Every structure is written in structure tokens, then in C-alpha cells.
Amino acid sequence: MRTSDLNPVFQPSYPLVTSRDLDPLLERIGEARCVLLGEASHGTHDYYIWRTAITQRLIAEKNFRLLAVEGDWPDCYRINRYIKGLDNTSQNPVEILQTFKRWPTWMWGNWEIAAVVSWLKTYNTTLSPAEKTGFYGLDVYSLWESMEAMVAYLEENDPVAARLVHEALACFEPFGEDEQRYAREHYFPGVSCPEPLTQLLRQIRSKVPSFDHDPEAVGFSSYQGTVRAGKRWAAPAEVMTVPAAQEGSLEHALHQLSDLNRLIIFPRNTSGEPLPHRAIGVVYEPERERFWELCIHKSQSAVRCLCLSGSYPGSASPSAEHGRPQNS
């Protein structure tokens, strides 16, 4: 697809320098009760600070009260207790984040997240318990620790659900807390645990409100720069160079239109051909990078073009220094 063909799709677009430049995005979000924030890597300073800026405005201006993140439940719940003033043992956010031991630790053990945690604690200070913003992890790597945490909580607050958790745990016991073994063996007849988990989910869902509405999705994308990642699973983190995006990709098209950071609001009735786009995981090999197809169709997304940066300054607020990408 030619860049000229994409010009109508990438409109309207706005310069993106400070958090006030997010006004069009906040207007687009409107009364949505769920906003999804996605990113093209897990080790990018720029993504973290703009995600923070969006989060702060959603909380302060639109009364959002729950952050659900790609983190382990037990670890993130320590953050939740800290920002709500329920943890009297931790002196600062750094102490909390140092308890994140599961690889990749840099996703949470960084100054950008520490600044977010500090802001949340300060924001919650003068609010009633019902008004405080919470911080919760949704990832599945801590399956067993999460189950144990659920049991401890539910035994005090929901005995019926606690019984269902115990039944689910009993089903998993033969696999010795080895989710990989369960994944391999559940293909055999009679070796599976869907029923106790289904009952547990039904019990939990019966206690929470329904969010039957269209969410808004916000994506982050970049042309080139640096990123923090590992060369293989559990490898030491290192700052790697991210090469220029391949020709014909979403990032290449955006860069051709402008080499400045931009906020782009896609029309709701947009349709078009699939475009390759980059998605850098915690494991990254620049020389073998793979681009994935993205179809801009009936999109409710805002995509911004910026440069990847692996730096780790203490600031968590966008400023004029982020107006022009580095290394682009």
C-alpha cells in the first residue's frame, strides 16, 4: 500500500509534545468505561511515560479507578496495597518493585513505573477507600502463587468461591505446580481441569458488574531507536538497537508522513488492506525481527508515531524533549 493511499486513514493527526496534547484522545474516549493501552515493546521509555500520561488523565479527569496490567497478581497486589495506604512496611516504590523477581524484571523494576506508583499513592492519599485507584495484575505466569493468594482472600470474603478454588487446586496437584507439564498432558483423555475452573469463573463473574460496551484502544508504534530486551528467555536484559522499520510497514508509512511524534485518531469507519507492523517482545533479535499484520478496520484506536528509547530517566511526564524522535 502506498503512503499516498494512507493519508486519509492517518487523519486527523496532532503534534504530541506534552500531556495536554492528549486532549483529542480524551475527547475520543468520551464516556468509555474501559480503555486498552497497547505497546509495540516491553522495554521502551517513551511508551512508559506516555502510557503514564494517559493513565493519569483518565484517573484525574474521567474517574477511572482500576489499572489492570500485564503483571503477576501477587506482585501487583503489593503495589495495590502500597498506593492505598494499606502497607506500613514499605518505605518507597523502589522497595515494592524490588520484590518483582520473575523474568523479565525490567518490565516493572524501572524508574518509570516507580514514578507511576509514587503518583498513585499521592493521588489516593486524600480519597476515601471506595474512591482510591487500584493496581492489579492479570498475567498467568504466577498461576500457583495467584491461586494461593485467591484462597487466602476468598476464605475470608467468599467461602463458596474459596471452595471452588480448592477444587481447582486439587485438579492441578498431580502436575506438581508445573504448568508446562499440564499443557502437555491435557491432550490425553481425562487429563484436563476445565470444569472446576469454569465453575470458579462463573462464581467470580456473578459478583462483578458487566462491561457490555465498546472499549477504546490506544496503540504505540515506532520507526527505530533502542529497546531493552533479552536475546532469549531468561537472558540478561540489554539495550538493543531497533533498526528502521521495513518498507511497506505501518511504522514506515507513518515515518514517511512525519518524523515527529504524532497522535493519530483513526475514523471509526476506517477500512483498508492489512499492513505489517512491529511487535517487539521481551525476547528480541533485531536481525530476525518479524512484522505482524495489522488491519485498520472499524478501528477505535489512536496510534502515535515515535522513536523507541531504552533510557531510564526518573521522569514520568512527557515534555518538550520528546517532540522529535531520536536516531530517526
Look at residue 16 and tell me whether its pLDDT is greater than 60.
yes
Q: DSSP 3-state assignment of 327?
A: coil
CB 191 within 8 A of CB 220: no
Q: Say which DSSP state 230 is in.
A: B
List of domains in the chain: 3-62+216-322 (3.40.1660.10), 66-137 (3.30.1870), 159-205 (no CATH)
User: At 212, is the pLDDT very low, low, confident or very high (cuts 50, 70, 90)?
Assistant: low
Q: Would you say residue 320 has pLDDT above 70?
A: no
pLDDT band per the 50, 70, 90 thresholds, residue 23: very high
Give bridge partners of residue 53 from the DSSP assignment: none
pLDDT at 294: 67
Whether residue 250 contacts residue 40, with contact meaning beta carbons closer than 8 Å, is answered with no
Task: Please report the pLDDT score of residue 293 as a whole number.
Answer: 74
| DSSP state for residue 246 in the 8-state scheme | P
The vertex-74 CA angle with 145 and 49, nearest 5°, equals 140
Cα–Cα distance between 229 and 233 in angstroms, integer? 10
C-alpha cell at 25: 484522545
CA atoms within 13 A on the CB side of 327: 17
Mean pLDDT, the chain, rounded, equals 81
Q: What is the chain's Cα-based Rg?
A: 21
Across 3-21, average pLDDT: 76
The predicted-structure confidence for 238-284, as pLDDT tens digits, reads as follows 999 999 999 988 888 888 888 888 898 877 765 666 778 888 999 99
Q: What is the pLDDT of residue 133?
A: 97
Q: Identify the DSSP state of 300.
A: -
E-only strand ranges, 199-249: 216-229, 238-242
Report residue 174 CA to chain centroid gap.
33
Mean pLDDT value across residues 281-291: 90
| Window from 20-24, 184-188, 240-244, 249-253 with minimum mean pLDDT | 184-188
C-alpha grid cell, residue 29: 474516549
Report the 10 Å Cβ neighbour count for 80.
21
8 Å CB contact between 39 and 219: yes
Q: What is the pLDDT of residue 204?
A: 78
DSSP string, 20-37: GGGHHHHHHHTT-S-EEE
Is a pLDDT exceeding 60 seen at residue 38?
yes
Which tops the pLDDT comparison, 284 or 296? 284
Residue pLDDT, tens place only, 138-160: 887 777 788 788 788 889 888 88
Tally of residues, the chain: 328
Most confident of 13-22, 55-64, 149-158: 55-64
What tens digit of pLDDT does each residue of 199-210 get? 888 887 787 766
Mean pLDDT on 65-76: 92
Q: What is the largest CA-CA distance in the chain?
A: 61
On whether the CB atoms of residues 103 and 234 are closer than 8 A, the answer is: yes
Q: Pairing between strand 291-295 and 66-69?
A: unpaired
